[in-house]
Structure 1
């Protein structure tokens, strides 16, 4: 299977997470992705821990199905070798701070002059313009600056750091991918390329739509853990069980709430959570705390009331539901022939090309492209 993006060549100058995950999605749909890496050690993530073979397991998961070109972009002679590829590229993805690609002679304006149809995607934390454009940051800074983190911080004694890199993936990867696809569609219609300024902070605001709506419409801005979906309701919160596990209770709708309170045996006088929400919350918590997670798992499996027991990632990989859907069927192989489960990607099976075993590239495994100036060699990545 070739995939809907077969024939699309992507030059990926990005490192770490947002850009590499975006180009992984494109590669899964058939695009040829060539990573541009520094000679010697390659991109930073190759050296991360834990190692899996020569490189890190993170690198293997994010870069399967791609190829690698090792060039010193600060060296004019080496950089000039890119010219044939730049003329042929359909998509360029970069993740440097604003101005870096221009200093390297690789700005959108310079590449558009030789390749008018190029789609050039820049991913940064704060965007290419504005007072924070040149500021350094990481995921925690981005979700802090745009208001998401303040909605569920935990307490002063136990502040909570979200386990997901929300800004990198939700604010960087996903907007980059769908805007690249929109740009490709627009090029099909107009023949023109596009410059895409993807700011991770900007891409996060849809995730706080409810808080934004409440604040601008009523003037009452949600605070730390005090709202319906951030822990402020007995109908949407985590309750500790007797064995240290947690019940994730989300019976928001009245029909599910009625099933839930009946299933746990909540006293009739506290079932109406509008009268005394705190009393209802405490009563639910006391009941949940009397039994183990396994007990409640069976109860909620039978009740079907939007409640579950929190499971760890190891259990999720063995979950019969996810297994039945084929999420973990694909594998990544390293240079020693060892295999692990590949990172599931949100590309529909009808469009995916790497459904079996794939490898991340060895550093510089496509340097023959520039050594021979063979810019028309559009061989599928191995």
Structure 2
């Protein structure tokens, strides 16, 4: 079976999470991804704790089915080799701060002179323009500037941090994948490559589309933990259960709320579903009701009801859930090393009927593919040995 991105060759300069996760998605759908790593240690994501068999468990989660070469881009020979690789590749992904590749003479403007068809995707915190372009940042910073952190948390509590890296993945990884695919379609039509400027701040702001619409319509700033979708209403909330676990209720539509109220014997709440002044009273009463059974007892109680109720699962519970298993969304890399630890990985979330993604649980050692990749662009064994001596690769 032919995968959609077979024949697409990607040079991946990124590290840690946003870029590597992007290229893993491309690799799952057939792209040949070549990680270009520093000879002195490689992708810093290789060494993030916890370590399994000497390498980061996190590295395995975003770097499957790739090749790795080492290349010192600060040395002239390294730059020359990189340019030679660009002549045979389709995509370059860079996750450095703006200006780093320009100083090396390897920015998009230089590379498109070598290969006008090259698609260059720069993933940065704030973009390659604007007053913050050179400022350092992490997921929390981007979400805070985007206004997401201010909206996250409980009513009258302080802003809360997300349990996952929203800006990195939703704002960086996924928009980078989209940009690259759009650029490949454009190139197929025009023969021209282009620069993809992906800012994690931009991507985070775009996630506020509905929130901005609500603000525009009501002319009232959203209040943390006190609006319809953030915990202010009884019909859309999280409730603790008898066993100190939780269930989530998302009965926004009237038909769901009616069934819920009937099941808990609170028919009087049907008419007051969206009345702001009644929310605290209803929430307090429902909290008391939910404490009468365990989480799983409530799940069983509502099993035949169509009301949008689900248990709040821990990671280990999620991995064992039958829906997750049916969709093959959790994979295990069984340990064959002295550590004796299995690594849990995500499956392919994009399901295509004719050309589904293919997971190959192979992970490159640092510089493992130096000879294979570089000999393919004309370098001899003797030249590669000389590069090793000079620590170019």
Q: What is the TM-score with the length of structure 1 in the denominator? A: 0.92
Query: Counterparts of 1:162 and 1:121 in 2: how far apart (Å)?
Result: 26
Q: d(CA) in 1 for partners of 2:189 and 2:116?
A: 14
Deviation at 1:163, TM superposition (A): 0.3
Q: Indicate if the aligned counterparts of 2:11 and 2:34 stay in contact, CA closer than 8 A.
A: yes
5 Å-filtered alignment, 1:336-355, equals 336=337, 340-349=343-352, 350-355=354-359
Deviation track 1:70-123 (CA, whole Å, cap 9, x = no partner) reads 111111222222222111110000000000011111100110000000000000
Closer, same or farther: CA 74–352 of 1 in aligned 2, 3 Å:
farther
Q: Distance in 2 between matches of 1:189 and 1:11?
A: 22
Distance change (3 Å), C-alpha of 1:292 and 1:18: same
- Report the counterpart of residue 365 of structure 1 in structure 2: 368
Range moving further from structure 2, 204-213 or 177-186: 204-213
- Map 1:1-382 to 2 at 5 A: 1-154=1-154, 159-266=159-266, 268=268, 272-273=272-273, 274=275, 276-328=278-330, 330-332=331-333, 336=337, 340-349=343-352, 350-355=354-359, 357-369=360-372, 372=375, 374=377
- For 1:346 and 1:294, locate their aligned partners in 2 and report how far apart those are by CA, in whole Å: 27
Structure 1, unpaired ranges of 5+: 377-382
How big is each residue's C-alpha offset from its partner over 1:331-363, in whole Å with a ceiling of 9 and x where there is no partner? 5467749864432232325434533x4211010
Q: How many residues align?
A: 374
Query: Aligned equivalents of 2:214 and 2:358: distance in 1?
Result: 43
Check whether the contact 1:334–1:360 (CA below 8 A) recurs between aligned residues.
Answer: no
Distance in 2 between residues matched to 1:135 and 1:45, nearest whole Å = 21
Distance, in Å, in 1 between the alignment partners of 2:152 and 2:144 is 11
Structure 2, unaligned runs of 5 or more = 380-393
Task: After TM superposition, give the deviation of residue 289 of structure 1 in Å.
Answer: 1.8
Shift of 1:41: 1.4
The 3 A distance-change label for structure 1 pair 158 and 126 is closer
CA separation of 1:23 and 1:202: change in aligned 2, threshold 3 A: same
What's the secondary structure of 1:342's corresponding residue? strand
Displacement of 1:322: 1.6
Q: Determine if contact 2:9/2:31 at 8 Å carries over to the other structure.
A: yes
Give the whole-Å Cα distance in 2 for the aligned partners of 1:204 and 1:19: 16
Kept in 2: contact 1:28–1:347 (CA 8 A) = no
CA separation of 1:85 and 1:369: change in aligned 2, threshold 3 A: farther
Query: Distance between the aligned counterparts of 2:270 and 2:345, measured in 1?
Result: 47
After superposition, give the CA deviation of every residue in 1:225-273 in whole Å (9 maximum; x if it has no partner). 1211111111111111121111201111111001011112226368623
**Closer, same or farther: CA 193–334 of 1 in aligned 2, 3 Å:** farther
Greater alpha carbon shift after TM alignment, 130-139 vs 280-289: 280-289
Deviation string, structure 1 residues 265-312 (Cα, Å, up to 9, x no partner): 226368623262221121111111222112211112122211122111
Aligned equivalents of 1:218 and 1:159: distance in 2? 22
CA gap of 1:158–1:241, structure 2 versus 1, over 3 A, is farther
